Amino acid sequence: MSYRAPVDDHAFLLEHVVGLEQVRATAMFEDATPDLTQAILLEAGKMCEEVIAPVNRAGDLDPTHLENGVIRTAEGYIEAYTAIAEGGWVGMNARPENGGMGLPIALTTSVNEMMSGACLALQLVPMMSQGQIEALEHHASDDLKARFLPKLISGEWNGTMNLTEPQAGSDVGALTTKAEDNGDGTYAITGQKIYISWGDSDVVQNVCHLVLARMPGAPAGTKGISLFLVPKRIPDDAGNPGVANSLNVVSLEHKMGLHGSPTCVMQYSGATGWLVGPEGGGMAAMFTMMNNARLGVGAQGVGIAHAAYTHALAYAVDRKQGRVARQGGGTIVDHADVRRMLMSMKADSYAARAIALSCAIAIDMAAATDDATWAARAAFLTPIAKAFGTEIGQSVANTGIQVHGGMGFIEETGAAQFVRDVRVTAIYEGTNGIQAMDLVGRKLMDGGDAAFALLEEIEKQAEASRGRFPNMAGAVWDAAESLREATEWMVGQSDIDERFAGAFPYLMAWGRVLGGHLQLTTALADTPGGARERLARFYIKRLLPEYAGHLTHATEGAKGLFDMSIEELQA
């Protein structure tokens, strides 16, 4: 395998494009110096290339499986996970008072992206634990924190999210798992949960499940849902895994990809759990974990995009074929259409990465400053980072197969694995359709303030850079102006279905335009005529223009969608 960690791109983006310097100017993150940032990126990159990426194929070829009641991972997984845990990478952004490193989410996002590209299936373990750590930091009692956080942060135990039930997927409010008060400060949890990533495995000593459940007599819908921490083994007084809890893995799903990651059907049979946060506050607490995870999933998409790009590039540089090869001994990288694919892959991966990191910076600034404007920015960017990042992950991985020609369809090359693995990222942590509905619904409930503030920044910067880059700046400005008009249209729709009808193309247009903005920012920060400037030009001239088609679709409204009856759809 040819995974190469994009350390330089991350360093450039953090230091010169998305604004890590603002984050380190706050008291909360003053330790994240340029030297430390660079050292962390280098160290993480080295681990990804040398320790994690080498186990990626094994996880696909030898899927994690149940063996005499124990979940066995592929060869090398235990060692690679142990390297992640012992390197302190699980607790990167956990608070120092709990044993974490207290680093910005921005830097965590960079590291998570690289780990995802190296081995998506394995990277799910630390990512889910990070989300759980954050949820416990915000919502758990001091006693729970003291018992669970150190082991989660050290990576000895891992964390999972238990939302979905067979009849309750995107509609979490329909769940029926029960939580009955044991009268001793604990609850008895009973029910079945599905799609539980890493619900059990041989890479950790214990598993901490965060489970959404309903107390007897709780109101219907999401208001009646509470959150519980339910460990596989109940910690003893010394804090070590003690007696087994009443829960078990019923089966593992047979999935299209991500074979290295066990996706469990979990059965809770009166399992002991502790309430996290207030009664009925389960959804709010879970959303702490989920928003973090949504950005993380976006970064997963970027990670696979980058991995697929370097993999395809290595093949193209090596593969002799055709006219160019016969004339000059060159390889397919010199064919125009192959070059088009590679440049598109690189430019899109970079743009999606820049968006994810911008979102992370906003989250950090919101945490460090308590400024509502930053919180609104973070909330607005999260669904875009998630959905656009994972759409780019899919399209770039798919192009990676195409660069390989016939070899791409053969599993041995590994190109197909990227496509199969990344597919789930557009689905889990809220499908991309759910992200789009969040964007045009909840995230525009401010009347568009957060959206318009961002558009203002984009347009101002484009305006200011017309002197140096007239064409690029003009293209970005025009795109932002069209997006502003579409946003005004969205905000003007009182019937939510009118917004929902165009939500997904509207989100994709945001991704394209933000990508253009951040590419322009990159070109401005690059040395004149530098490689980054040339890549930015490619993106802005050839990929940005897609926004127009998305926006036309986005503002057509609901009528034409519901114009055909079910019978006509079936005809």
Residues 476-515 that bind a second copy (CB under 8 A): 497, 500-505
- In the complex, the smallest distance separating the C-beta of residue 541 from a second copy, rounded to whole angstroms, is 5
Nearer to a second copy, 139 or 550 (CB): 550
> Candidates 101-109, 298-306, 365-373, 406-414 — which segment interacts with a second copy by CB under 8 A?
406-414
Residues 348-387 that bind a second copy (CB under 8 A): none
Give the one residue of 152, 227, 342, 351 binding a second copy; rule: CB under 8 A: 342
Q: Which residues are CB-contacts of 252 (< 8 A; sequence separation ≥ 6)?
A: 64, 65, 66, 71, 262, 263, 264, 265
In the complex with a second copy, the residue whose CB is nearer, 26 or 402, is 402
DSSP 137-157: HHHS-HHHHHHHHHHHHHTSE
Contact 470, 518 (CB under 8 A): no
Task: Candidates 150, 270, 280, 433: give the one binding a second copy (CB under 8 A).
Answer: 433
If DSSP codes are grouped into helix, strand and coil, which group holds residue 508? helix
Q: Does 164 bind a second copy (CB under 8 A)?
A: yes
Q: Is 423 in the site for a second copy (CB under 8 A)?
A: yes
Contact residues for 218 (Cβ-Cβ < 8 A; gap 6+): 224, 225, 226, 279, 280
Choosing from 8, 21, 97, 143, the residue that interacts with a second copy (CB under 8 A) is: 8
Our finding on whether 541 is near a second copy (CB under 8 A) is yes
Among residues 50 and 171, whose Cβ is nearest to a second copy?
171
Between strands 178-181 and 65-67, the pairing is: unpaired
Out of 322, 369, 373, 446, name the contact with a second copy by CB under 8 A. Answer: 322
Tokens representing 381 are: 């960017």
Q: Which candidate, 265, 263, 309, 553, places its Cα nearest to that of 428? A: 263
Residue 429 appears among annotated catalytic residues: yes
The reply to whether 178 sits near a second copy by the rule CB under 8 A is: no
d(CA 198, CA 220): 29
Q: 86 or 411: whose CB is closer to a second copy?
A: 411
Closest C-alpha among 147, 171, 167, 166 to residue 157: 147
- 341: contact with a second copy by CB under 8 A: yes
Selected binder of a second copy within 22, 154, 222, 402 (CB under 8 A): 402
Does 171 sit near a second copy (CB under 8 A)?
Answer: yes
Contact range with a second copy by CB under 8 A, out of 182-190, 294-302, 371-379, 536-544: 536-544
Stretch that binds a second copy, among 40-48, 133-141, 321-329, 476-484 (CB under 8 A): 321-329
Residue length of the chain: 571
Report the sign of the C-alpha dihedral through residues 63, 127, 44, 411, in that order.
Answer: positive
Q: What is the DSSP string of 20-81?
A: HHHHHTSSTTTT--HHHHHHHHHHHHHHIIIIIGGGHHHHHHS--EEETTEEEPPTTHHHHH
- 426: how many CB neighbours lie within 10 A of its CB? 20
Residues 188-217 that bind a second copy (CB under 8 A): 194-195
Q: Which is nearer to a second copy, 267 or 402 (CB)?
A: 402
In the set 243, 244, 410, 464, which binds a second copy (CB under 8 A)?
410
Total residues binding a second copy (CB under 8 A): 95
- Is 338 a binding residue for a second copy by CB under 8 A? The answer is yes
Nearer to a second copy, 170 or 240 (CB): 170
Distance CA 439, CA 450 (A): 11
229 or 437: whose CB is closer to a second copy? 437
Among 416, 444, 473, 524, binds a second copy (CB under 8 A): 416
Which residues in the 233-262 window bind a second copy by CB under 8 A? 253-257
Q: How far is the CB of 569 from a second copy (least distance, A)?
A: 6
Which residues lie below 8 Å from residue 320, measured CB to CB, with a gap of 6+?
A: 329, 330, 331, 332
Please pick, among 137, 429, 459, 498, the residue that the annotation labels catalytic: 429
**Interface with a second copy includes 560 (CB under 8 A)?**
yes
Can you tell me which of 46, 138, 339, 442 binds a second copy, judged by CB under 8 A?
339
Q: Which is nearer to a second copy, 470 or 549 (CB)?
A: 549
User: Which of 178, 233, 466, 553 is the binder for a second copy (CB under 8 A)?
Assistant: 553
Q: Which candidate, 253, 200, 265, places its Cα nearest to that of 231?
A: 200
Give the residue, chosen from 223, 409, 445, 456, that forms a contact with a second copy under the rule CB under 8 A.
Answer: 409
Q: Residue 316: which residues within 8 A CB-CB, separation 6 or more?
A: 331, 332, 333, 338, 342, 403
**In the window 131-160, what residues touch a second copy (CB under 8 A)?**
none
Least Cβ distance, residue 534 to a second copy (angstroms): 4
Contact with a second copy (CB under 8 A): which of 46, 65, 340, 442? 340
What span, in angstroms and rounded, lies between the C-alpha atoms of 3 and 311? Answer: 7
CB of 495 to a second copy, least distance (A): 10
Q: Among 50, 79, 318, 337, which residue sits at the site for a second copy (rule: CB under 8 A)? A: 337
Distance CA 473, CA 459 (A): 9
Distance CA 272, CA 362 (A): 37
Rounded distance between C-alpha atoms, residue 442 and residue 438, angstroms:
5
Candidate segments 66-74, 151-159, 287-295, 550-558, binder of a second copy by CB under 8 A: 550-558
Of the candidates 472, 426, 459, 237, which has an alpha carbon nearest to the alpha carbon of residue 451? 459
Ordered DSSP codes for 330-382: --GGGSHHHHHHHHHHHHHHHHHHHHHHHHHHHHHHHHHH--HHHHHHHHHHH
Q: Does 170 bind a second copy (CB under 8 A)?
A: yes
Whole-angstrom distance, CA of residue 103 vs CA of residue 37: 9
- Residues marked active site are found at 429
